[in-house]
Amino acid sequence: MKQRELPSYLQQSDAVKDRFERMKKRPVTLQVKNLNKEFDTPQGKVTALKDINFETYKREFVCVIGPSGCGKSTLIRILAGLETQSSGDVLLDGEAAIGPGPDRGMVFQGYTLFPWLSVKDNVMFGLEMSGHSKASSEEQAFQWIDLVGLSKFAKSYPHQLSGGMKQRVAIARALANQPRILLMDEPFGALDAQTRAKMQGYLHEIWKNIDVTILFITHDLDEAVFLADRVLVLKANPGEVQEVIEVPVPHPRSPEQLLEPEFLATRKRLEELIHPAEADAGINEDHLNMVRMVRVDNEVESVY
Amino acid sequence: MMIMFTKLFSIGKKLDSRQRITMSVFSFLLPLLIWSLVSYVPFIWHPKVEIETAGDVSYFQQGMLIDRNIFDREVETAIKESKAVPEGVAANPVYLPAPHEVATALYTAFTTEPKRRNEKWLHESLWDSIQVIFWGFLISSLIGVPLGILAGTYDVFSKLFEPFIEFFRYLPAPAFGALAVAVLGIYDAPKIAIIFIGTFFQQVLVVSNTTRKLDPALLEAAMTLGAKRMSLLFRVVVPGIITHLYKDLRLLLGWAWTYLIVAELIGTSSGITWFITQQARYKNFDNVFAAIIIIGIIGLTTDLVLAAIGRKIFPWEKGLAKA
């Protein structure tokens, strides 16, 4: 393959630079300060996250990416309040966020819709929990369902929906509480490539029109570059912030941009960070021990 | 033929609905076929001989059932001594009536008046049994299901209840019979108590186990949506396990029937068990079989009805089965 000359991922057009400058003047929604997480295992203490520091600005879209075992899921679970950090602070609009709460919405990879509730009742769940009357939550639920384009399925049960539809319900359910930040843990990981691309488009549409900051975990490099304003790259053992990359691809994003030089440059940088070159140079032990096992007189001498 | 065979015996594949119904019918027909073969084909089993004419054998009487070897010996002696030879047909022991006899008994058991005035009709006996089961199972469920859910949800209750219950469930319920009579008298109360003891301890453990199988991600999702303690329990845990809980209860109801037989022998014997023991004493084994079959029919019908109700009230259950 021919190596194309790519610009540096740090190189931003004036419009993009201006946008980042304006963004950084916005108030900080989520601030993570000196966050550490250690697990006690039979093999001893394991540091899952070490000294994590970052912040997200209001209505920013941040993707978190990293190799497996970098603790990205642990990080988002701490942010959601489903796990507690060993030390450090999570501040939401300047206030410490402790325990799970409706101010931080969460979308899981496994949908986690309540199978015994219809789509409408699923979306109503959070509203009712936060004390809205039945009538008012029903009305709001219909609005959110309409927003994600599932009005026809309001009365259906989750098992009657496709994966992409389920995830749209999950997003509507999380957004109905009007959280300040939407935490998404590899939400499109279980979807096929086409649905995934469509969902990425939908998510951008939702994000554009709703007052919400999004923190999105993924292991898909293209997804990270396509969706994010900034990408938080973690490294494994222990999980640390390796780099925060400002994506130089201008908004609004479209699938055609996947082949633009700034897109490819950013993707290449992520690739370098997540799969360092020496890992591929044969130092690692994980490889096949393949020898030719086809007879010499096989009809197909070579598959090439 | 070969294709048919591979289709029927492919591992992990569901049969089509017609084949499944056929197989379900066969599952009843096969035992009935075996029973019929043993009953109606003279050279299968038939260890007895029913005397038709006694001949010169002094102790033979018409209609008497005699072991085949004794009969053969008597025939031999009769021939040797040139006396009148007894005649008879191969027969099964009295405790194995033929299907048609049981079928008749199934009908006549309901139409025959009880032998003594203070005795009960079969349907009255059955109704007594059903009431004992109902109350025993209801009381057990009213306490056992909440305890099981608590134990399955909170580790503290699990550790507080379950060790003792694990111990207690090994104590055989019938062993408490005498105690139950001493405390609760001789009528229905001790019987209900035995059903309760037989069901309750298993029930708590089964329900707590089912509760623990609830996907923890659903609880986490609910918490991120703002659900707190009580609403987590009543709006997530309970509806989340209800379909499985319902299945558990159907299963446990079957167990309650097995304890019924012991329970009804306690104090004044009553219900269907009384009917069975009474009929066995008169050697009316066709009636005994009829009564046992009726228990089976009641059990199976209740279960099928409950399953149908379940499908109605849990419309999302079809999706669960698929997942």
Pair A171, A196 in one domain = no
Pair A124, A165 in one domain = yes
Interface A–B counts its CB contacts (< 8 A) at 80
Q: Delineate the domains of chain B, giving CATH numbers in brackets.
A: 48-91 (no CATH), 109-322 (1.10.3720.10)
* CB crowding B111-147: b at 16 or more within 10 Å, else e: eeeeeeeeebebeebbebbbebbebbbebbbeebbeb
The Cα B292–Cα B285 span in angstroms is 10
Q: Do B240 and A104 count as a contact with CB atoms less than 8 A apart?
A: no
Set of chain A residues whose Cβ sits within 8 Å of the Cβ of B240: 114-116
Q: What is the pLDDT of residue B283?
A: 85
Quick: pLDDT tens for B188-213.
899 999 999 999 999 999 999 999 99
Pair A122, A270 in one domain = no
**Residue A85, in any domain of the structure:** yes
Checking if the pLDDT of A1 tops 70, the result is: no
Q: What is the pLDDT of residue A3?
A: 58
Checking if the pLDDT of B323 tops 70, the result is: no
Pair A189, A172 in one domain = no
Q: Which of A123, A143, A177 is the last residue of a domain?
A: A177
Quick: pLDDT tens for A36-66.
999 888 888 888 899 999 999 999 999 999 8
Q: Which of A127, A147, A177 is the last residue of a domain?
A: A177
Q: Is any Cβ of chain A less than 8 angstroms from the Cβ of B9?
A: no
Q: Do A177 and B220 count as a contact with CB atoms less than 8 A apart?
A: no
| % of chain B exceeding 70 in pLDDT | 98
Nearest to B188 by CA among B118, B267, B125: B267
Q: Which of A131, A150, A177 is the last residue of a domain?
A: A177
Of residues A278 and B66, more confidence is placed in: B66
When the pLDDT of each residue in chain A is averaged and rounded to a whole number, the result is 89
CA A189 to the chain's CA centroid: 10
Checking if the pLDDT of B66 tops 70, the result is: yes
The DSSP code for B120 is P
Checking if the pLDDT of A2 tops 70, the result is: no
Q: What is the pLDDT of residue A279?
A: 53
A239 Cα to chain B: minimum distance (Å) = 23
Set of chain A residues whose Cβ sits within 8 Å of the Cβ of B227: 125, 129
B206 Cα to chain A: minimum distance (Å) = 21
Q: What is the pLDDT of residue A162?
A: 92
Q: Do B319 and A158 count as a contact with CB atoms less than 8 A apart?
A: yes
Give the residue-averaged pLDDT of B299-312: 92
**For residue A131, what are the domain limits?**
112-177
Pair A268, A161 in one domain = no
Residues near A17 by Cβ (< 8 Å), separated by ≥ 6?
Answer: none
Pair A99, A189 in one domain = yes
A9 Cα to chain B: minimum distance (Å) = 36
What is the pTM (predicted TM-score) of this model?
A: 0.84
**Residue A248, in any domain of the structure:** yes
pLDDT band at B31 (very low <50, low <70, confident <90, very high): very high
Q: What is the pLDDT of residue B278?
A: 84
**Residue A294, in any domain of the structure:** no
**Residue A288, in any domain of the structure:** no
Q: Is any Cβ of chain A less than 8 angstroms from the Cβ of B232?
A: no
pLDDT band at A176 (very low <50, low <70, confident <90, very high): very high
Number of domains in chain A: 2
**Which of B113-127, B154-168, B208-222, B260-274 is predicted least confidently?**
B113-127
Nearest to A167 by CA among A119, A107, A223: A107
**Residue A148, in any domain of the structure:** yes
Pair A164, A249 in one domain = no
Residues near B6 by Cβ (< 8 Å), separated by ≥ 6?
Answer: none
The Cα A192–Cα B188 span in angstroms is 62
> Under an 8 Å CB criterion, which residues of A touch B?
80-82, 100-102, 104-106, 108, 110, 112, 114-117, 125-126, 129-130, 157-160, 173-174, 177, 183
Q: Do A106 and B318 count as a contact with CB atoms less than 8 A apart?
A: no
Pair A189, A263 in one domain = yes
**Residue A27, in any domain of the structure:** yes
The Cα A149–Cα A199 span in angstroms is 12
| % of chain B exceeding 90 in pLDDT | 44
Pair A99, A149 in one domain = no
Q: Is any Cβ of chain A less than 8 angstroms from the Cβ of B319?
A: yes
Q: Is A209 exposed, middle or buried (0-12, 13-18, 19+ CB in 10 A)?
A: exposed
Give the residue-averaged pLDDT of B250-260: 90
Residue A285 has a CB neighbour count (10 Å cut-off) of 5
The Cα B60–Cα B50 span in angstroms is 10
Give the residue-averaged pLDDT of A175-191: 93
Q: Are B207 and B148 in contact (CB under 8 A)?
A: yes
CATH code for the domain in which residue A275 is found: 3.40.50.300
Residues near B314 by Cβ (< 8 Å), separated by ≥ 6?
Answer: A116, B242, B243, B246
Among partner residues A105, A126, A159, which is closest to B322 by beta-carbon distance? A159
Quick: pLDDT tens for A211-258.
999 999 998 999 999 999 999 999 888 888 999 999 999 988 998 898
Pair A250, A120 in one domain = no
**Residue A300, in any domain of the structure:** no
| Token pair of B171 as six digits | 């104590």
Q: Are B47 and B70 in contact (CB under 8 A)?
A: no
Q: Are B151 and B208 in contact (CB under 8 A)?
A: yes
> Most A CBs within 10 Å: which of B218, B225, B234, B313, as the mutation test of the A interface?
B225
Q: Are A177 and A144 in contact (CB under 8 A)?
A: no
Pair A139, A275 in one domain = no
**Residue A304, in any domain of the structure:** no
Q: What is the pLDDT of residue A280?
A: 52
Q: What is the ipTM of this complex?
A: 0.87
Pair A268, A127 in one domain = no
Quick: pLDDT tens for A120-150.
999 999 999 988 999 999 999 999 999 999 9
